[in-house]
Amino acid sequence: MNNRPIGIFDSGVGGLTVVREVMKALPNEKIVYLGDTARVPYGTKSNETIKRFSIENAEFLSRFKVKLIIVACNSASSIALPALKKRFKIPIIGVIKPGAKKAASITRNNRIGVIGTPTTVKSKAYDREIKLISRNRKIVSRACPLFVPLAEEGWLNGKITTDIVKKYLEPLKKNKIDTLVLGCTHYPLLRGVISKVVGKNVRIVDSASSVAGEVRAILERQDRLAKTKRPAHRFFATDAVEQFVKVGERFLGKKIKKAMRANHV
Ligand code: DGL
């Protein structure tokens, strides 16, 4: 059981920022990754559609006898977690709770900013989780839909990107937030410019690294850490694999030797 892989899915390449953090935190774990590139983006789709896609993705990962599934996509985590937990017996971990926990614990003035896709922001999933931890936190959220194509295009700094980031984040700055949650798989790539725009007094919470820490804690607690030396990870995409590899390597921060087409959709 311990050496079974961890399954991770996302709407596309973005979830590789989560894979990157999981690989760092848990170097002996084997990972099976599925990017639903044929149906990306999820962040603008209806709740029903996101639930259906998420269940199909988890079913695909189950074929590999995964011991745990990480829903790397913030949009899917916001909407589909209860449906997934009901349907699958293995632990299903979303990215919202770990990011919310971290933000609630590091804020000093109790004013937290949350940025994500329109779906994630509309769902108020971060607000709910943060308020569960402490009622007196004020949350200011904003959807930043243009950040996703900017990150995929590799426009990670420069004037155009800085101007767009400023335009989205100005209202959060006015609200005097001291903590900002990057509630989308793509945003860690823009962390440099985001941090410059909000200023160094604002602490940035990256939900990708927060979830990796949470998964490590769960596996340790359950005594289910793998001992695989140099695990062979597997990468699947539901559309053009070459494009997935090309863009994905930037998100993963290392080479993807091989990716395969998943044909469940
Ligand atoms: N993976 C999505 C998220 O984290 C961003 C891309 C999309 O909209 O599908 O919300």
Domains of the chain: 6-94+209-261 (3.40.50.1860), 97-207 (3.40.50.1860)
Q: What is the mean pLDDT of residues 227-253?
A: 94
Three-state secondary-structure class, residue 167 = helix
The H or E element that residue 151 is part of is: helix 147-153
Pocket test of ligand 1: the residue of 77, 186, 210 to mutate, having most ligand atoms within 8 Å of its CB, is 186
DSSP for 184-238, please give it.
STTGGGGHHHHHHHH-TTSEEEEHHHHHHHHHHHHHHHTT-----SS---EEEES
Q: What is the mean pLDDT of residues 140-164?
A: 96
Q: What is the structure's pLDDT at 74? A: 97
Q: What is the structure's pLDDT at 59? A: 98
| Beta partners for residue 93, in sequence order | 70
Q: What percent of the chain has pLDDT over 70?
A: 100
Band of pLDDT at residue 88, cut at 50, 70 and 90: very high
Q: What is the structure's pLDDT at 228? A: 86
Check 31, 184, 190, 241 and give the catalytic one. Answer: 184
Q: What is the structure's pLDDT at 30? A: 97
Q: What is the structure's pLDDT at 171? A: 93
Pocket test of ligand 1: the residue of 81, 119, 184 to mutate, having most ligand atoms within 8 Å of its CB, is 184
Instruction: Write out pLDDT tens, residues 178-234.
Output: 999 999 999 999 999 999 999 999 999 998 999 999 999 999 999 999 998 889 999
Residues in contact with ligand 1 (CB, 6 Å cut-off): 10-12, 14, 40-43, 73-75, 116-117, 120, 148, 184-186
Q: What is the mean pLDDT of residues 68-93?
A: 97
What whole-number distance in Å separates Cα of residue 184 and Cα of residue 13? Answer: 12
On average, the pLDDT of the chain sits at 96
CB 6 within 8 A of CB 210: no
Please check the confidence at residue 265 and state whether its pLDDT lies above 80.
no
Please check the confidence at residue 264 and state whether its pLDDT lies above 90.
no
Instruction: Write out pLDDT tens, residues 154-172.
Output: 999 999 999 999 999 999 9
Please check the confidence at residue 16 and state whether its pLDDT lies above 80.
yes
Q: What is the mean pLDDT of residues 31-48?
A: 96
Tell me the C-alpha to C-alpha distance, in Å, between residue 14 and each of 1, 113, 137, 183, 202.
28, 21, 29, 12, 24
139 Cβ contact partners less than 8 Å away, ≥ 6 residues apart: 112, 113, 114, 126, 127, 130, 131
10 Å CB burial of residue 32 (0-12, 13-18, 19+) is buried
CB 239 within 8 A of CB 259: no
Q: What is the mean pLDDT of residues 233-245?
A: 96
In 10 A of CB 74, how many CB atoms? Answer: 38
| Beta partners for residue 112, in sequence order | 139, 179
Atom of ligand 1 lying closest to residue 183 CA:
4
73 Cβ contact partners less than 8 Å away, ≥ 6 residues apart: 9, 10, 11, 14, 15, 42, 95, 185
Tell me the C-alpha to C-alpha distance, in Å, between residue 145 and each of 43, 53, 70, 166.
8, 20, 23, 14
Q: What is the mean pLDDT of residues 36-50?
A: 95
- The structure tokens listed for 253 are 């921060």
Q: What is the mean pLDDT of residues 103-126?
A: 97
The H or E element that residue 138 is part of is: strand 138-143
CA 88 distance to own-chain centroid = 20
- The structure tokens listed for 23 are 């690989």
